[in-house]
Amino acid sequence: MPYYDDSGHLLRNLKSLFERIRIEEPEATRAVSDSRLIIRLKFSSPQAEIVINGRHNPVQVYYNSGSLRPDLDISLPADALHKILLAELSLKKALASGQMSVRGPVFKTFALEDIFRKGQALYPQILREEARGGAPPELFD
């Protein structure tokens, strides 16, 4: 059974994640900004997409919208992203197994490395908050 109920569920979690990265770990987006890449992440099951604009500083993220032509196009199932963010699946294994496909210069995916690393640190906390209905952790400690 897929983790995400629908695209709204997936996008809510991704918005929370990118907002946390922006506030708590802003240096994580530096490689994307330095690369000047526009990166599109296309998800399936459920379908959704985000576009990360590294040509803008600070980096901008668009959810299910954006007419920017990507330099790098990455496709993967939402469950694969979920496993990557839980550190249950590496980016390298996702790519090698065909769960993730990349159109464009594959070596430039390294620009996302810091975002995924910081995302892995923050994502479990987002899931815990989601399970509590978004309530602050101190109410449950």
Is 139 inside a domain boundary? no
- If you average pLDDT over residues 8-31, what whole number do you get? 93
Residue 108 domain-assigned (yes or no): yes
The predicted model scores a pTM of 0.87
Q: Which of 29-33, 66-70, 137-141 has the highest mean pLDDT?
A: 29-33
Is the pLDDT score of 91 beyond 50? yes
- How much is the pLDDT for 132? 72
Nearest Cα residue to 78 out of 49, 113, 52: 49
pLDDT score for 141: 42
User: Considering its fold, how many domains does the chain have in total?
Assistant: 1
Residue 117: inside a domain, yes or no? yes
CA angle 43, 49, 55 (to 5 degrees): 130
Q: Say if 50 falls within a structural domain.
A: yes
Residues 107-138 have pLDDT tens digits of 888 888 899 999 999 999 999 998 877 545 54
What is the residue-averaged pLDDT of the chain?
A: 90
pLDDT above 60 (res 22) = yes
Say if residue 18's pLDDT is above 70: yes
- CATH of residue 54's domain is 3.30.1050.10
**Residue 121 domain boundaries:** 7-133
Residue 49 phi/psi, 5° resolution? -150, 150
Looking at residue 140, its pLDDT comes to: 39
User: Sheet holding 60-63: strands in order across?
Assistant: 60-63, 48-53, 38-44, 72-77, 101-103
Q: What is the mean pLDDT of residues 80-88?
A: 97
Task: Report the candidate in 74, 80, 85 with the shortest Cα–Cα distance to residue 38.
Answer: 74
Output the pLDDT for position 134.
57
Is residue 105 very low, low, confident or very high in pLDDT (cuts 50, 70, 90)?
A: confident
pLDDT band per the 50, 70, 90 thresholds, residue 23? very high
